[in-house]
């Protein structure tokens, strides 16, 4: 990974069994360590999705304070490296809610996650500075912003103050408008240029730990999505780790005439192709198949390097 734009992080790898052993005798409000995480991308990682929303496009990802801990436990047991918790639906056509309502949705779940798994990297999926600030102070260790700091210009300043990793995604328009006639001359070049500008801005604020998401399905036609996936390697020229969010999206189920609930096999296929094209994080609804995909890809890479 190039160090010209992004620093290389150091990862702490925790296995599910270790978590139970390490936390068994701890007071739930006493974290094992403090400060932002340093993630080492020596191998691809899997991020499990927890949507504290009533209307996210895949019903299987929706959680509330009653079932969130059980779903998170399953994901961690299956090998998730990190969890991404959001309280705002970003499906096409979604209506934006305010930061107070968003925080009300995620606050009890975030507290439960941090108390039970203090070593787990929990990301907050938000574009509101107010939510990001509260979440970091409550124990979130990463911020994932679908707008790359454009919907709330104060959010990057919050990230800079706390020094947490920052995921920046490309999106044409807003969730409410993004799928209304999206258009590109060259989708890869335009996504590259936008993210490059965002990287430069974040660098000027002193943000070091940047992760980039090309934004599959966010203001893109099906041909744009597959064009991005085909040329994903080109985005490595930005020098930052790449997060890929393909799981159960319309580029899969519309292409195959399926529903999101039927799109697991297609998701796994695209995850394999994304890994081969340089993906560093897979953001997924289904952790176990994604972890298997990563492990098999490591065998493939090992055979290629050894030949």
In CATH, what number is assigned to the domain containing residue 230?
Answer: 3.20.20.20
Q: Please, are residues 242 and 7 in contact by the beta-carbon 8 Å criterion?
A: no
Mean pLDDT of all residues belonging to the chain: 86
Do 87 and 131 contact (CB within 8 A), yes or no? yes
Known catalytic residue: 283?
A: yes
The predicted structure's pLDDT at residue 306: 66
- C-alpha dist (Å) from residue 17 to 79, 90, 285: 11, 34, 22
SS3 121: strand
Catalytic residue among 134, 141, 198, 249: 249
Whether 301 is in a domain gets the answer yes
Per-position DSSP letters for 189-208, written without gaps between them:
HHHHHHHHHHHHHHHHTT--
Cα(210)–Cα(238) distance, integer angstroms: 10
Map tokens 């190039």 to a residue: 2
Report if residue 10 sits inside a domain.
no
Catalytic residue among 134, 141, 248, 283: 283
Q: What is the token pair recorded at 62? A: 């929706």
In a domain, 187, yes or no: yes
User: Which tokens in the block code for residue 280?
Assistant: 């560093």
pLDDT tens-digit map of 202-218: 999 999 999 999 999 99
Domain contains 201: yes
* 178: confidence class by pLDDT, cuts 50, 70, 90: low
Is 209 among the domain residues? Answer: yes
Q: Which helix (H) or strand (E) holds 47?
A: strand 45-51
SS3 162: helix
- Cα 255 to Cα 91, 166, 258, 273: the distances in Å are 18, 31, 8, 16
Domains in the chain: how many in total? 1
pLDDT band (50, 70, 90) for residue 174: low
pLDDT tens column, 36-85: 667 888 899 999 999 998 765 555 657 788 889 999 999 999 999 999 99
Q: What is the rounded distance in angstroms from the CA atom of residue 82 to the CA atom of residue 176?
A: 28
Q: Are the C-beta atoms of residues 299 and 290 closer than 8 Å to each other?
A: no
What residues make up the domain containing 301? 44-306
Buried b (16+ CB within 10 A) or exposed e, 98-113: ebeebbebbbebbeeb
């Amino acid at each position: 990974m190039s160090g010209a734009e992004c620093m290389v992080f150091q990862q702490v790898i925790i296995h599910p069994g270790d978590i139970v052993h390490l936390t068994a005798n701890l007071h739930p409000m006493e974290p094992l360590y403090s400060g932002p995480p340093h993630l080492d991308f020596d191998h691809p990682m899997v991020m499990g999705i927890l949507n504290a929303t009533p209307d996210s496009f895949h019903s299987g990802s929706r959680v509330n304070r009653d079932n969130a801990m059980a779903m998170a436990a399953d994901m961690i047991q299956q090998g998730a490296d990190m969890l991404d918790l959001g309280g705002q639906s970003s499906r096409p056509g979604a209506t934006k809610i305010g930061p107070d309502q968003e925080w009300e949705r995620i606050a009890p779940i975030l507290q439960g996650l941090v108390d039970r798994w203090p070593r787990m990297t929990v990301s907050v999926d938000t574009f509101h500075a107010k939510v990001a600030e509260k979440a970091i102070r409550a124990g979130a260790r990463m911020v994932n912003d679908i707008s790359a700091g454009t919907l709330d210009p104060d959010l990057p300043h919050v990230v800079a103050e706390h020094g947490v990793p920052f995921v920046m995604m490309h999106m044409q328009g807003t969730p409410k408008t993004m799928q209304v006639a999206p258009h590109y001359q060259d989708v890869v070049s335009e996504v590259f240029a936008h993210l490059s500008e965002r990287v430069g801005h974040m660098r000027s604020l002193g943000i070091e730990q940047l992760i980039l998401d090309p934004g599959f399905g966010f203001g893109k036609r099906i041909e744009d999505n597959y064009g991005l996936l085909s040329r994903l390697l080109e985005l490595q020229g930005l020098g930052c780790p790449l997060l890929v969010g393909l799981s159960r999206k319309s580029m899969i189920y519309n292409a195959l005439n399926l529903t999101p609930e039927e799109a697991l096999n297609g998701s796994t296929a695209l995850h394999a192709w994304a890994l081969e094209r340089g993906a560093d994080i897979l953001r997924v609804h289904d952790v176990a198949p994604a972890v298997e995909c990563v492990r098999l890809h490591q065998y493939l890479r090992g055979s290629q390097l050894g030949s």
